[in-house]
Amino acid sequence: MFKRVYFDNAASSYPKPQKVLYAVRDILNENTSNAGRSGHYMSEKLAAKIYDVRKKIAAFFGTDETLVVFTQNATHAINLLFFGLLKSGDEVIISDLEHNAVLRPLTALQRQGVSLKIFKTGENSIKNCEELITNKTKLIFVTGASNVTGEVLPVPELAAVAKKHGIYFGVDAAQSAGVISYNLQNDNIDFLCATAHKSLMGIQGAGFLAMKNATEIMPLIYGGTGFESLNPEQPLILPEGLESGTLMSPAIIGLGAAIDYISENKKSIYEKEKMLYSYVYDKLSANNLIIIYSQKTFGVPTLSFNVGNKNSENVCEYLSNNGVCLRGGYHCALLAHQKLGTTDQGVCRLSFSPFNNISEIDYFCDLLRPNKISNL
């Protein structure tokens, strides 16, 4: 009998909380006007709902709602930050676990005179990072948790290093927002980039850049803002000056509902995911064919493995044919795979949510028994 098991939440969460589904359904049924663009009551009502979501995000991450800029996703937010903040002669320091959403824009900016340095993560992450700082370093930017292994970086400690040296500090929280608590003011985080549809359990189409303080960032996209329409120059008033074009209102409304859901259930979500992680880690560890790349200690609900020297995409295709959805290959993360030594094979990435259960893990692990996968 075909069983559907979804273990690809690091790519996009599924299923969504009922609260999120209802919020998106209701706004699609009730109001799909263009928020902040017209003076009629429907537009103004939707704009007020979106502003309420700004306030929820700001409260959740410890900043002011005027410093929350909506984007399409985390990649958009990261590009907005990098291209809007960095100039020729600036240096940026990142970790060796970064997603291509960080590496590729910085690689492009190197052609415009920005310098890129990469520190080695592990026991000496903080020391390794600090040793790279010079008087040209403008930004330290790291992932909150690796999208490949789930390894959690010491964000508060790295932020303290940045503050000591008078350097901006930013976090790619695509995999960790909602699982790990961040407070921009208390944790000295100047910039936090995230998407709605992964660990925050919203839907695809929205993300945000949250700032600790008002910072001069040039727009990535120029155009209509809903105000100063007779001015040919882009108004730089935060946050709307960085949000040209129509916002993805249903996704933003869904994000607000997702933050409500996480706020109401954060402890139980964490305990459930921690329990599932420990259970699957122990089950896979008992299989002599399995190589695990993730740490035993729970950080975020992501675990990567390989079946001996078998191609990870072939293993994931076999699992998919048996109803189990996870991601093989390279996960848009060149640096992480170089660090792991898996650029030839890739890895199988298992990532779950509080909606998964023990029986699904048992089914998945049974498919990886030696007698079932020996011929792959």
> In the predicted model, is pLDDT for residue 36 greater than 90?
no
Under 8 Å between Cβ of 90 and 139: yes
pTM: 0.96
**CA separation for the pair 250, 333 (Å, rounded):** 29
* Residue range 318-375, pLDDT digits in tens: 999 999 999 999 999 999 999 999 999 999 999 999 999 999 999 999 999 999 987 7
**Around 371, how many Cα atoms within 13 Å sit in the side-chain half-sphere?**
1
Centroid of chain to Cα 17? 18
Which residue from 318, 312, 294 is spatially nearest to 369, judged by alpha carbons? 318
Whether 365 sits among the annotated catalytic residues: the reply is no
**CA separation for the pair 350, 8 (Å, rounded):** 6
* Residue range 46-91, pLDDT digits in tens: 999 999 999 999 999 999 999 999 999 999 999 999 999 999 999 9
* Residue range 299-320, pLDDT digits in tens: 999 999 999 999 999 999 999 9
**CA separation for the pair 25, 100 (Å, rounded):** 33
Query: Which pLDDT score is estimated for 375?
Result: 77
Give the pLDDT mean for 155-184: 98
Check 129, 316, 332, 365 and give the catalytic one: 332
Under 8 Å between Cβ of 259 and 57: yes
Domains of the chain: residue spans and CATH: 5-15+266-362 (3.90.1150.10), 18-261 (3.40.640.10)
**CA separation for the pair 319, 333 (Å, rounded):** 22
Q: How many CB atoms lie within 10 A of CB 234?
A: 17
DSSP codes, 265-279: HHHHHHHHHHHHHHH
How sure is the predictor about 115, in pLDDT bands with cuts at 50, 70 and 90? very high
Query: Which pLDDT score is estimated for 18?
Result: 98
Query: Which pLDDT score is estimated for 2?
Result: 64
Q: Percent of the chain at pLDDT above 90?
A: 96
**CA separation for the pair 197, 20 (Å, rounded):** 11
> In the predicted model, is pLDDT for residue 1 greater than 60?
no
**CA separation for the pair 218, 118 (Å, rounded):** 25
How sure is the predictor about 107, in pLDDT bands with cuts at 50, 70 and 90? very high
